[in-house]
């Protein structure tokens, strides 16, 4: 069995995918998973004006044979991580992606984006 975690998005890479206003949200997520080597981030992006964090986990000991893993049950508590990500994604649509101030979804543009009034008026 081979599990490729080479596409793990580290925090510094995630920072380049969204505006600086959401970096504190990423910090919260990455702090929550910092001590868990089994969690890896697949993608971080803005979609429909909100933050999206896609992650997975691998609790499998890849040194074991397929037969040993046949009835393996993962006891990883992913529910709390999924809840955290959902909360961060919901919070993102209230925070300006560019500056981090209170913002709102702006749909009167060619691209849906969460911005504060200042950044909206500056044409961000």
Q: Tell me the C-alpha distance between 15 and 122, whole Å.
A: 22
Give the pLDDT of residue 96.
98
Q: Give per-residue burial for 80-100: e unless 16+ CB within 10 Å, then b.
A: ebeeebeebbeebbebbbbbb
CB 113 within 8 A of CB 106: yes
**1-34: per-residue pLDDT in tens?**
444 555 567 778 888 899 999 999 999 999 998 8
**54-84: per-residue pLDDT in tens?**
988 776 665 666 676 666 666 667 788 899 9
Give this prediction's pTM.
0.80
Residues 6 or more apart whose Cβ sits within 8 Å of residue 120: 106
Give the pLDDT of residue 124.
74
Q: How many folded domains does the chain comprise?
A: 1
- In this model, does residue 119 exceed pLDDT 50? yes
Quote the radius of gyration of the chain (alpha carbons, Å): 18
- Per the structure, the complete domain to which residue 68 belongs is given by 11-92
Domain presence at residue 78: yes
Give the pLDDT of residue 13.
82
Domain presence at residue 105: no
Domain presence at residue 106: no
Domain presence at residue 118: no
Domain presence at residue 124: no
Domain presence at residue 29: yes
Question: Which tokens hold the place of 124?
Answer: 């961000």
């Amino acid at each position: 069995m081979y599990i490729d975690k080479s596409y793990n998005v580290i925090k510094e890479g995630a920072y380049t995918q969204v505006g600086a206003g959401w970096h504190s949200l990423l910090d919260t997520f990455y702090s929550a998973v910092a001590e868990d080597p089994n969690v890896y981030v697949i993608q971080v992006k803005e979609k429909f004006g909100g933050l999206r964090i896609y992650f997975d986990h691998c609790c499998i000991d890849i040194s074991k044979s397929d037969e040993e893993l046949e009835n393996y049950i993962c006891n990883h508590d992913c529910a709390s991580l999924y809840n955290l990500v959902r909360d961060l994604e919901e919070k993102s649509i209230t925070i300006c992606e560019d500056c981090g101030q209170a913002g709102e979804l702006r749909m009167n543009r060619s691209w849906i984006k969460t911005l504060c009034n200042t950044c909206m008026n500056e044409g961000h």
